[in-house]
């Protein structure tokens, strides 16, 4: 594991403190791509966990690593003023939600769309977490994650109905971090 992450990783290779990891990333000004490349972290992680990584995870990371790289292709712009020789090449992005740049842009666009759709109202933010003893079940059958979300939504509606309230329920699933990577 690269020196950047050594202090945050326990003897089993699991990040010991996600808050510290994210604080470190923000403090260092690192994007996900830079963090993966720094000290060869992605290579070390892949060597250590290679057999347990799903194809979609490897593909996603490879997309992030190739974001804004000429290998993805680029658009070539040339100034229309004849005496000017100015030209610019803009590399294509990966458009992957895990990418610090592309995912952030997609999230910002999505949030703006939701603001238009949803009425202004007081809200309550509720975070549900999964006990670590259950993680292996969700890792082996990812469809269970959708089931938990569906059940939680029904539960919130049932509780609200008892109070004579009709809630607007919005859920976002975060499967990153710890062993749910």
pTM of the model: 0.55
Instruction: Specify if 177 maps to a domain.
Output: yes
CB atoms within 10 A of CB 158: 9
Instruction: Specify if 124 maps to a domain.
Output: yes
Q: 26 pLDDT exceeds 80?
A: no
Instruction: Specify if 158 maps to a domain.
Output: yes
Instruction: Specify if 163 maps to a domain.
Output: yes
pLDDT of 8 reads 44
CA distance 71 to 74: 8
If one counts the domains in the chain, the total is 1
Q: Which domain holds residue 177?
A: 119-181
pLDDT band per the 50, 70, 90 thresholds, residue 115? confident
β-partners of residue 88 are: 77
Residue 43: closest CA among 55, 26, 61 = 61
pLDDT band per the 50, 70, 90 thresholds, residue 178? very low
Angle, nearest 10°, between helix axes 41-49 and 55-65? 170
Instruction: Specify if 95 maps to a domain.
Output: no
């Amino acid at each position: 594991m690269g020196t950047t992450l050594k202090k945050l990783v326990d003897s089993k290779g699991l990040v010991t403190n996600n808050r510290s990891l994210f604080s470190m990333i923000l403090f260092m000004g690192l994007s996900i791509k830079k963090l993966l490349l720094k000290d060869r972290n992605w290579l070390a992680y892949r060597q250590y966990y290679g057999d347990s990584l799903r194809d979609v995870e490897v593909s996603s990371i490879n997309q992030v690593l190739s974001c804004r790289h000429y290998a993805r292709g680029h658009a070539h712009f040339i100034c229309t003023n004849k005496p000017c020789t100015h030209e610019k090449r803009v590399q294509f992005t990966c458009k992957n939600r895990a990418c610090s740049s592309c995912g952030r842009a997609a999230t910002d666009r999505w949030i703006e769309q939701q603001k238009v759709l949803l009425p202004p109202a007081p809200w309550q933010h509720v975070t549900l977490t999964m006990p670590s003893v259950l993680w292996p079940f969700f890792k082996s059958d990812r469809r269970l994650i959708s089931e938990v979300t569906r059940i939680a939504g029904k539960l919130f509606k049932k509780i609200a109905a008892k109070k004579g309230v009709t809630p607007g329920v919005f859920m976002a699933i975060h499967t990153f971090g710890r062993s749910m990577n």
